[in-house]
Amino acid sequence: MIHHPSISAWRTARATPGFSGQRIGFVPTMGALHAGHRALLERARAENDRVVLSIFVNPTQFNDPADLAKYPRTLEADLALVGPFVTDVITPAAESLYADGYRYRVTEATLSRELEGAHRSGHFDGVLTVVLKLLNLVQADRAYFGEKDWQQLELIRGMAHALFLPCEIVPCATVRADDGLALSSRNARLSPTGRARAAKFPETLRSAPDAARAAAELAAAGFGVDYVEDREGVRLGAVRIEGVRLIDNVRL
């Protein structure tokens, strides 16, 4: 595993003969890696000659500065976790990725303003912009994204299609704990009691007869409910517990 701590270091390496003729898989992350990320990397390793991982806490997708400040930075632990699956790790600095001061950005006009977008102003502009930058830098054949972030995945697929990006966007199934809660870096911020209660979230999304009933049941169980909606055969929800915001979706 080779660590490229800057964009310039990565570009120098990417231009070497070692990448010539190699099929490249790419997994973009914000670090604080867990078994869900590992599953993405395992699949990328199985389907490609080289696997590139990026670790970058993207400031432009946080609408709440306090949320950005609380996001865990665990680089050493992350690198130890991914060693068996990754050939290259990129950890760019924000001032390099956003040398333009975020003057240029990607905006989607419809889906990005609903669901998560309705509660997190500008969030998807930040997501799409950083993903486009990273895809351009890595020049991967395939990029892997988890289905837990359904709306994000749909928007990235749409961007890749609309902008003729020569990279296949590969969806990967949500990885869950034994009690059904989707793995997320945010879970670590819950107390043991809150973590146990959080399992009620995916259980209710699955069992409720409709989205309105699911929202009512979650509110009655003490969750702050931002939304529960059914879209294209998928039930999506976002809730708050102990000040931590969780999102999930289940197939209907």
C-alpha torsion sign, points 199, 202, 205, 208: negative
**How many Å apart are CA 246 and CA 185, to the nearest integer?**
10
Catalytic residues: 37
- In the chain, the amino acid numbered 122 is G
**How many Å apart are CA 82 and CA 97, to the nearest integer?**
23
Helix (H, G, I), strand (E, B) or coil at 237: strand
C-alpha separations of 1 from 8, 89, 143, 219 in Å: 18, 7, 18, 46
Query: What tokens were used for 174?
Result: 């949500």
Tokens 């003057």 belong to residue: 103
**DSSP per residue, 168-197:** EEEEEPPPB-TTSPBP-GGGGGS-HHHHHH
Give the number of other Cβ atoms within 10 Å of residue 199's Cβ.
15
Helix (H, G, I), strand (E, B) or coil at 146: strand
**DSSP per residue, 101-129:** TT-S----SSGGGSTHHHHSTTHHHHHHH
Could you tell me if 78 and 31 are in contact, meaning their C-beta atoms sit under 8 angstroms apart? yes
Closest CA to 124 of 152, 145, 98: 152
